[in-house]
Amino acid sequence: MVHRCGSQDALVAVRARAWLGLGQADILRTMTALPSRPGKIVAVHASYRSRAAERGTMPAWPSYFLKPTSALAQSGDPVMRPPGSELLAFEGEVALVIGRRALRVSPAEGWDHVAWVTAANDFGLYDMRYADRGGNVRSKGTDGFAPIGPRLIDARSVDLAALRLRAWVNGELAQDAWPLRDMLFGFGDIVADLSRLLTLELGDVILTGTPTGSTVVNPGDVVEVEVSAGEQSSGRLRSPIVEADYVLQPLGAMPRATDTEREAAYGARAWSLRTAAGAQAAPPLAETIQPDPQAARPEPPATAPPAVAIRPEAQTTVPPVEASRPEPEATPPLASILDGLREVSTATLAAQLRKRGLNGLTLDGLRSTRPDLRMAGFARTVRYLPLREDLSATHGAGMNAQKRAIEQIRPGEVLVIEARGEQTAGTVGDILALRTQVRGAAGIVTDGAIRDSAALAQLEIPTYHAAVHPAVLGRRHVPWETDVTVACAGVTVQPGDILVGDADGVVVLPPPIAAEVLADAREQERQEQFIAAQVAAGEPIDGLFPLTDRWRPAYEAWLEQHEPHESPTSDQAQPAEPSHHTTGTGDTAGTAEVNPAAASPAVEAVLEPRTPQ
């Protein structure tokens, strides 16, 4: 039925939604989020840095799979877990709805072909991944596994810096991400990449990937996903989980859960539940790890084909973000974690890792070309193998693995080179190191030698190395492969691991514990600053270092007079302050070095009398 409301746009909208009544009696009866039945639903694999790190990979470009349109569902529809399965996982995502045809468009033009954004949930059944052999037909394409909506946000009105994705399980915040700063690939990049080989038609949907926090849900759970942009919101996409009421006949592969699939399905949900100082506020652009050309997108030309109109009320009544529910504590964004890691010493981090039983994460025997700079970033890896002349001829020339890794590096990453500790040939020289800097890298780490050391010392990023040598890498190495787990300076490094460096050396942090380690490292350094002040004033270290209960009241009084140091916002390596540590013993990092000064009056009052009772 056509609603005669006096608006041509409304007429077009109603006709566009005529597909809802054509053989779709059981699904999408009231969905308002899509203007037409999508010709295709394209989903991106790992696109968020946190998810890639969780998987131990760091893709250089997006990869995709298709979901059938029969998987579509709307807010409130139950998601049925198939009989005999246990590993149904949710993935909160930002959905892009294409507004006009895109074929071989540039990244700068890609965003202009997106008409709307909304919330989506890319459910997957890990029990069936083995049977799909990478195709995801059943594991991701089951009926109801693509809820979307409930409302659209006009893409032209979206400030990408304010775009936020959140997901809740039973009211508990499970995912929280800012796509502009957290994604490896911008929305325009994804549209442009897809359009190189396939035409994106009006109404097509792109599911842009999920951040860390995805995990298994069970019957009785309720998953909610929301996309917001300032005061605009998609509303909460609600998906109650139920047990399927049908029998799965054994006519083909049946659900099968293995320990490997369980590990993948449950993911690193602990990351999303780490303690932090409240829900995230919208981050300033200065904190972003990855600049995004979409942020200053041009308006579409006046002659551009019009997007399919949606109902006027859908355009004008998008509600503000719901503020009635209190937010649980959220993990700090990754850029903020990197900022904080640049403030603490590697000595402190090594001590904190040791307390957690992680003794093999400090790289041995490396020195920095810029000991005045601190470094924190995500690992982008490349492996060199020993020289074999015939393989060097096929793998060493042209765009070899070394050059590919450098051309794939993204802002905020660290190039990590496995060179087997070989010090009799360079592993990187001035030109490629400069290119690494221009690409936005936070630094370079190699357990081999460097060439052109004087030039590298003039760069704005540090290069950690084991030696200097004038010979080219071809004297001892064959650049072999990129984005794999490597062994560098005695430490296993996975793509996406966090590397932190200062004048003392380099430490590797597993991303899921980075926020926790940072919080404890900051507290350790505050305690050591207090302890150093007392030592400088003449106090003996017995009972003071490490801090004991006797000194705790004095420390608390001291804390009240010292505001926490604020984090910098720059992504690049920060000039280091003078080292706060000397070498420590046992499980405790060294004592802080401070100017000799007497204890404050407040501390004096708490400490009297000083003689232990």
Q: What is the mean pLDDT of the chain?
A: 80
- For residues 310 and 398, state if they share a domain: no
Chain-centroid distance of CA 309 in Å reads: 35
The CATH code of the domain that includes 470 is: 3.50.30.40
Would you state the structure tokens that stand for residue 283, as one six-digit string?
Answer: 């981050």
Q: How far apart are CA 327 and CA 332, in angstroms?
A: 14
350 part of a folded domain: no
Whether the CB-CB separation of 483 and 59 falls below 8 Å is answered with: yes
- For residues 251 and 389, state if they share a domain: no
Q: How far apart are CA 491 and CA 489, in angstroms?
A: 6
- For residues 209 and 292, state if they share a domain: yes
For residue 436, what pLDDT is reported?
Answer: 96
Overall residue count recorded for the chain in this entry: 613
Look at residues 509, 542, 564 and tell me which one is the last residue of a structural domain: 509
Q: How far is CA 604 from CA 528, 536, 541, 599, in A?
A: 18, 14, 16, 6
2 part of a folded domain: no
- For residues 436 and 477, state if they share a domain: yes
| Number of domain units in the chain | 3
Q: Give the lowest-confidence range in 127-141, 344-358, 428-442, 575-589.
A: 575-589
For residue 33, what pLDDT is reported?
Answer: 66
For residues 183 and 592, which has the higher predicted lDDT (pLDDT)? 183
Q: How confident is the model at residue 612 (pLDDT cuts 50, 70, 90)?
A: very low
For residue 424, what pLDDT is reported?
Answer: 96
- For residues 586 and 473, state if they share a domain: no
- For residues 269 and 414, state if they share a domain: no
Q: How far apart are CA 101 and CA 97, in angstroms?
A: 11
- For residues 492 and 533, state if they share a domain: no
Q: What is the pLDDT of residues 6-50, one digit of tens each?
A: 333 333 333 343 433 333 333 344 445 676 789 999 999 999 988
The CATH code of the domain that includes 222 is: 3.90.850.10
101 part of a folded domain: yes
Look at residues 489, 509, 529 and tell me which one is the last residue of a structural domain: 509
Q: How far is CA 262 from CA 129, 169, 530, in A?
A: 11, 18, 46
Q: How far apart are CA 379 and CA 567, in angstroms?
A: 22
Range of the domain at 395: 359-509
111 part of a folded domain: yes
For residue 6, what pLDDT is reported?
Answer: 36
- For residues 45 and 181, state if they share a domain: yes
432 part of a folded domain: yes
286 part of a folded domain: yes
Residue 171 has pLDDT above 70, yes or no: yes
Residue 237, by phi and psi: left (phi above 0), alpha (psi -120 to 50) or beta?
beta
- For residues 533 and 466, state if they share a domain: no
Give the mean pLDDT of 216-226: 96
Q: How confident is the model at residue 150 (pLDDT cuts 50, 70, 90)?
A: very high
Question: Which range scores top for mean pLDDT: 46-50, 316-320, 604-608?
Answer: 46-50
Would you state the structure tokens that stand for residue 129, as one six-digit string?
Answer: 């991944």
528 part of a folded domain: yes
Enumerate the β-bridge partners of residue 17. Answer: none
Q: How confident is the model at residue 527 (pLDDT cuts 50, 70, 90)?
A: very high
Q: How confident is the model at residue 581 (pLDDT cuts 50, 70, 90)?
A: very low
Residue 236 has pLDDT above 80, yes or no: yes
- For residues 469 and 603, state if they share a domain: no
For residue 266, what pLDDT is reported?
Answer: 87
Q: How confident is the model at residue 133 (pLDDT cuts 50, 70, 90)?
A: confident
List of residues 6+ apart from 580 with CB closer than 8 A: 345, 525, 528, 529, 592, 593
Look at residues 459, 494, 509 and tell me which one is the last residue of a structural domain: 509
- For residues 74 and 194, state if they share a domain: yes
351 part of a folded domain: no
- For residues 103 and 173, state if they share a domain: yes
